[in-house]
């Protein structure tokens, strides 16, 4: 595993290449995970509804696609700022950064936008049209985009995707048409175990250390329960149908969530589990709301 790690503990940031044109930049806690997430599953309202009580880590990620132009998806948080800037320098080398694309305005997603723009003054902020008052969120003068809009990088084309499930009102997803890279922001996470050495692994590598599809369903549903508590008031069939329709619409070959490890091999093995995982998430949220 060829990974470069800058810093340590709550400030560390790792850089790993997914393909020669796509780089994963991620923060997770590693050895310090028990300080924050020791009871991730046990602390839920329905702990019996999960297949295992793993001590899991919760990554915060950004991604770069390099071409004639380059784009950064999300920024990680101010706590990791110094190491994010080092990671960008490593990932970009001599290239410029042309776009800083923000999925939504929470600090772990957009909290370093201004600092990165200061380092790369030609980079244009990109965020979702429809919101108002982006100055309040530190995103003045952003290019506002809507689902279906595209940004051409050269060989790569970024398509803005309507976020079916956002934990913040103004959330967008992104799909790259050439590679099938899909950035899902806060949806569809897997969780990894530092004690099994799974930090910075791709999911196919995690499988070799014990990660299972049953655990994946657990991870998707526990995250959906936390991120989207409003699922309690939805129709389970409508949610599952929306997921199925979405998966038919996009040929996803690299699934890249903000808070999970990257799925780069045989993604269908996991993508096909999403409708059922979301069904379970709706049921879980509804029971928790009672």
Partner 1 sequence: MIRNVTEDLVQLGACVEGDHGHEAVRVYVLLNNGRPILIDCGSHLHRYSLMQELEEVLDGSTPEYVFLTHTELPHSGNLPQIASRWPDIKVMVSHIMTRYIEIVPVLPLAQITTVFPDTTLELAGRKFLFLSALLKDQPSTHWIYDIKTRALFTGDGFGYYHAADKCDQFADEIAGGIREEQFRAYQVNVFRHMRWVIPEKFNADLDKVFQRLDVSILAPTHGDAIRTEIPVHLARVKQAVTKISNDFRHGGR
Q: Residues interacting with partner 1, by CB under 8 A?
A: 10, 27, 36, 58, 60, 77-80, 105-108, 111, 130-133, 135-138, 165-171, 226-235, 238-239, 242, 289
What is the smallest separation between the CB atom of 114 and partner 1, expressed in angstroms? Answer: 10
What is the smallest separation between the CB atom of 75 and partner 1, expressed in angstroms? Answer: 12
What is the smallest separation between the CB atom of 188 and partner 1, expressed in angstroms? Answer: 15
**Do residues 82 and 11 make contact, with C-beta atoms less than 8 angstroms apart?**
yes
CA distance 276 to 190: 15
Phi, psi of 53 (to 5 degrees): -110, 70
SS3 content of the chain, % helix, strand, coil (to 5): 35, 20, 40
Nearer to partner 1, 58 or 63 (CB): 58
Nearer to partner 1, 18 or 105 (CB): 105
What is the smallest separation between the CB atom of 245 and partner 1, expressed in angstroms? Answer: 10
Closest CA to 57 of 199, 176, 156: 199
Nearer to partner 1, 166 or 194 (CB): 166
What is the smallest separation between the CB atom of 56 and partner 1, expressed in angstroms? Answer: 13
Nearer to partner 1, 80 or 198 (CB): 80
CA distance 125 to 218: 35
Partners of 152 in beta bridges? 157
CA distance 185 to 30: 21
Partners of 101 in beta bridges? 73, 126
Nearer to partner 1, 106 or 176 (CB): 106
CA distance 279 to 59: 24
Phi-psi region of 9 (alpha: psi -120 to 50; beta: other; left: phi over 0): left
Nearer to partner 1, 29 or 71 (CB): 29
What is the smallest separation between the CB atom of 10 and partner 1, expressed in angstroms? Answer: 5
């Amino acid at each position: 595993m060829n990974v470069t790690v800058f810093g340590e503990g709550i400030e560390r940031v790792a850089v790993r290449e997914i393909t020669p044109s796509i780089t994963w930049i991620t923060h997770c806690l590693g050895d310090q995970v028990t300080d924050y997430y020791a009871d991730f599953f046990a602390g839920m309202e329905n702990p019996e509804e999960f297949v295992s009580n793993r001590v899991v880590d919760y990554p915060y990620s950004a991604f770069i696609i390099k071409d004639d132009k380059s784009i950064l998806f999300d920024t990680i948080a101010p706590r990791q700022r110094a190491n994010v800037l080092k990671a960008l320098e490593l990932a970009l080398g001599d290239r410029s950064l042309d776009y800083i694309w923000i999925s939504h305005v929470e600090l772990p997603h957009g909290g370093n936008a201004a600092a990165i723009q200061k380092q790369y003054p030609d980079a244009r902020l990109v965020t979702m049209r429809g919101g108002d008052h982006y100055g309040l969120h530190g995103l003045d003068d952003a290019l506002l985009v809507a689902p279906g809009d595209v940004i051409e990088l050269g060989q790569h084309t970024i398509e803005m995707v309507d976020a079916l499930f956002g934990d913040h009102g103004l959330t967008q997803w992104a799909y790259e048409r050439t590679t099938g890279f899909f950035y899902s922001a806060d949806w569809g996470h897997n969780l990894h175990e530092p004690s099994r050495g799974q930090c910075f692994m791709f999911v196919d590598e995690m499988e070799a250390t014990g990660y299972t599809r049953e655990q994946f369903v657990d991870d998707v549903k526990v995250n959906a329960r936390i991120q989207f508590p409003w699922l309690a008031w939805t129709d389970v069939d409508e949610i599952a149908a929306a997921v199925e329709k979405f998966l038919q619409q996009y040929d996803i070959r690299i699934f890249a969530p903000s808070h999970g490890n990257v799925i780069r091999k045989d993604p269908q093995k996991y993508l096909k589990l999403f409708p059922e995982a979301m069904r379970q998430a709706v049921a879980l949220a509804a029971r928790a709301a009672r």
